[in-house]
Structure 1
């Protein structure tokens, strides 16, 4: 970002005085080698969410600040900041969420998080493991809201936490908020899956491309009033946000199961296919 543009962003602020870009916030640095190394480590340990944050930090988007400005300084952004200052507090209050009608997004979200042993606070903790400094600006709000809606993407799109499901969610997210980090993890991750299970007829790339298209065609989720969406029927929310059935992803699961492959344990599948070669050696 040019110095003149950066200076201009530091002079913009919301109606409550919160500055768009804090002058002490370090300028983003483009570090592709760091991103590649983090991705290689992520392949070995997909549960290490901190590596995902490192990849995104290393591949900053050129249009990130314009997107922050357009949402944070809009009437919608002002409303979201005043009514939903902390999404983790809303999302982790399962008792309140369970009081919504059956079939709501809230019930589906609670079912997903509880079955996976996840919490919004846990995702916050993963991000804070990096030790990044926080600044009282709208960039901080934007980044945190983007982070805190990640698991809602899983629930709304129907993509699970298996390896392919995570790639699909990342490419859906790229459609919503483009960044090279999403592209790297999404498509390189899909290529790694296809490499691990050679010969499978599952449409892996069809699945990630469908997720990418869906993300591009859907309204930006983080710009929506999350509390209101949670109380509504999940099918109604999906229709309004133009999120169709993840047909290609589900076809991958169907094909893999028919081929004797566990979609949730591809590493074990790879180990089994490698075993004869290891014994022959």
Structure 2
């Protein structure tokens, strides 16, 4: 079935399921074993909500979304084709993205692989809701590049705050606050980490919906122009926290990679 002909929501899909006790149990497992990032998917699943579904339904009805559906782009393959972007200007979004991914040793395909550990291909519903969720997953690292949040623990949780205001997944907000609490607890820092998270939420509310954009048209453009067009503010409190954490010699990686798993 062509992508544009898929149902908006498969009749067998259960979107609602708010189970905070289960979410807390899985967060406890994540804290006990920081490498067990499968717990992130369980948290997201335990805290589903209808707001993101309504947003998806509104988006797929737009002409912009219809154009994206007709293109049927495989975002991970396109984003991982770094040679595709070599002719772009040094300060383009594309070149900034490539530098970020190569520096961090990341691939868009790797994030897809991680998500399939939680939900294999055979369990997917192949509806437009699935397409939308996967688009949020595939654009996570572009969010990092566009917003200026790093992959350090505070950068990940602050970006989750930003992402919640963009996409309205209660599980993402839960991980953002619990992760920030864990950063403060394990570091003992006096840096305003919760203010950094709240700043991320504010920036997310003010910005245009990043995942709703024609990303392939934005990639060759100057990143500063793209940020201005999308109304992306600078995370000043986050950057000040990083300076303070560095001064305190904090090197703990409490929630490394959690943001990427939550996006998936």
Compute the TM-score of the two structures, normalised by the length of structure 1: 0.83
Alignment-derived partner of residue 252 in structure 1: 241
Deviation readout 1:251-278 (Å, 9 max, x if unpaired): 111112222223x6469xxxxxxxxxxx
Kindly name which structure, 1 or 2, has the bigger radius of gyration based on alpha carbons. Answer: 1
User: In structure 2, how many angstroms separate the alpha carbons of the residues matched to 1:226 and 1:195?
Assistant: 38
* 2:39 pairs with 1:34: no
Quote the offset at 1:41 in angstroms.
2.6
Q: Which runs of 5+ in 2 are unaligned?
A: 256-264
User: In structure 2, how many angstroms separate the alpha carbons of the residues matched to 1:146 and 1:131?
Assistant: 16
User: In structure 2, how many angstroms separate the alpha carbons of the residues matched to 1:195 and 1:15?
Assistant: 45
Query: Does the aligned pair in 2 maintain the 1:104–1:233 contact within 8 Å?
Result: yes
Quote the offset at 1:246 in angstroms.
1.4
1:1-281 aligned at under 5 Å gives the runs: 16-132=4-120, 133-198=123-188, 200-262=189-251, 265=253
Deviation readout 1:156-183 (Å, 9 max, x if unpaired): 1111111111101100001101121121
Higher relative contact order (CA 8 A, sep 6+): 2
Quote the offset at 1:64 in angstroms.
2.6
Quote the offset at 1:86 in angstroms.
1.5
Q: State the number of aligned residues.
A: 252
* Coordinate RMSD, CA, aligned: 2.0
Q: Which runs of 5+ in 1 are unaligned?
A: 1-13, 268-281
User: In structure 2, how many angstroms separate the alpha carbons of the residues matched to 1:221 and 1:60?
Assistant: 21
Going from structure 1 to structure 2, the CA distance change for 1:215 and 1:45 (only over 3 Å counts) comes to farther
User: In structure 1, how many angstroms separate the alpha carbons of the residues matched to 2:90 and 2:79?
Assistant: 17
Going from structure 1 to structure 2, the CA distance change for 1:192 and 1:139 (only over 3 Å counts) comes to same
Query: Does the aligned pair in 1 maintain the 2:23–2:42 contact within 8 Å?
Result: yes
